[in-house]
Amino acid sequence: MGRIVKGAAAVLGVLAAATAGGSAYFYRRTMKRYNARTERTMKMSGVDWEKYLPVMKERREWLMEQPHEDVWITSQDGLKLHGTYFKGEEGKKAVICFHGYTSQGMNDYGCLAGYYLQHGFRVLLIDERSHGESEGKYIGFGCMDRLDGLKWIEWMTKQAGEDVQILLHGNSMGGATVCMMSGMELPEQVKGIVSDCAFTSPKYVFTHVLHSMYHLPAFPMIQIADFVNRRKAGYGLDEVNAAREVRKAKAPILFIHGEKDVFVPCSMTEEIYENCASPKTKLIVEGAGHGESYYKDTAAYEQALDSFIGGIMK
């Protein structure tokens, strides 16, 4: 009996060590800045981005020919955050764009920024904390970035004047960020929000990835990661949930998602949409994968923006 007990204890010890090791590995490669790789994220998206490179290159070159400058703010917890500002025609419409996980503002909006500039918007492409040229060791996954977003709204209001009309546009992690912001007391200058392929919370998107791509159970890895992240990054993985936050939303929201998204399932946007308390509209792009909607059906995407913006801005 003693040998059986010792053997069982040894097996449990090995399992515990393996679980702890696996959780630590998952946490490091997901939450810490320099271990989260853009190439890995692009591969996990399941989208063949090569076919879009020519149009991306052409529009990025046009964008860089437009007057622009680097701008900086300081977050509430002392991080230096970076943005790229295009003044455009210096009118009274402005958009602040929030990018996806492991990306940066100039990467995710190299094409779409052109739409906004050609429609008379000032354009601010931010690098969310721990991305691009912004400081930070731990990725905010929208939970911390929503607070930074208020700082960027304040910056834009000072830049363009108190009568500026601001649109918030987010993609993937940025989409979750702007949905999470919708539940806050936003300044009156914010007239609307565009959320493209948002997830509900870090907890649920990680659970989906562990199940669908790694074929691993979420328990107890998510619980361990949540505990560690509260201590290191200052937030829990489901502490701020986009589907809960939009229940308090007042600003109108346009929701967009790709029907074939395997990275962040379209069902997450459906859940957020159903919970949204503010005026809302939705575009589901048939056949589009994660973050692909604008490229898959540019005409439908821009038509949805035209209609949405026309209803909220003068």
Domain with 257 in it: what CATH number?
Answer: 3.40.50.1820
**Is 217 within a domain?**
no
Question: Does some domain include residue 211?
Answer: no
Task: Give the pTM.
Answer: 0.92
Alpha carbon separation from 189 to 18, 85, 152, 295 (Å, rounded): 51, 18, 12, 30
Q: Residues 6 or more apart from 186 whose CB is under 8 A from it?
A: 150, 153, 250, 251
- CA 182, CA 304: separation in Å to the nearest integer? 20
Burial class from Cβ neighbours inside 10 Å (0-12, 13-18, 19+) for residue 214 reads exposed
pLDDT of the residue at 22: 53
For 50-91, the pLDDT digits (tens) are 999 999 999 999 999 999 999 999 999 999 999 999 999 999
Helix (H, G, I), strand (E, B) or coil at 187: coil
234 within a domain of the structure (yes/no): no
Listed as ranges, residues in the chain with pLDDT below 70 are 1-26, 29, 34
206, part of any domain: no
3-class secondary structure, 102: coil
Q: Which residues face 125 on adjacent strands? A: 84, 97
Q: Collapsing DSSP states into helix, strand and coil, what is residue 169?
A: strand
Residue 3 within any structural domain of the chain: no
Enclosing domain of residue 292: 32-201+240-312
pLDDT for res 42: 83
Q: Tally the domains of the chain.
A: 1
State the DSSP H helix or E strand holding residue 96, giving kind and residue range, or none if neither: strand 93-98
**Residue 182 is assigned to a structural domain of this protein:** yes
Residue whose C-alpha is closest to residue 41's, from 50, 29, 56: 29
Q: Judge whether 232 lies within some domain.
A: no
The per-residue pLDDT for 25 is 59
Type of residue numbered 262: V
pLDDT at 38: 80
What is the side-by-side strand order in the sheet with 93-98? 68-74, 80-86, 121-126, 93-98, 165-171, 190-196, 253-258, 280-285
314 neighbors 120 (Cβ within 8 angstroms): no
Structure tokens at 139: 């990725």
The reply to whether 133 falls in a domain is: yes
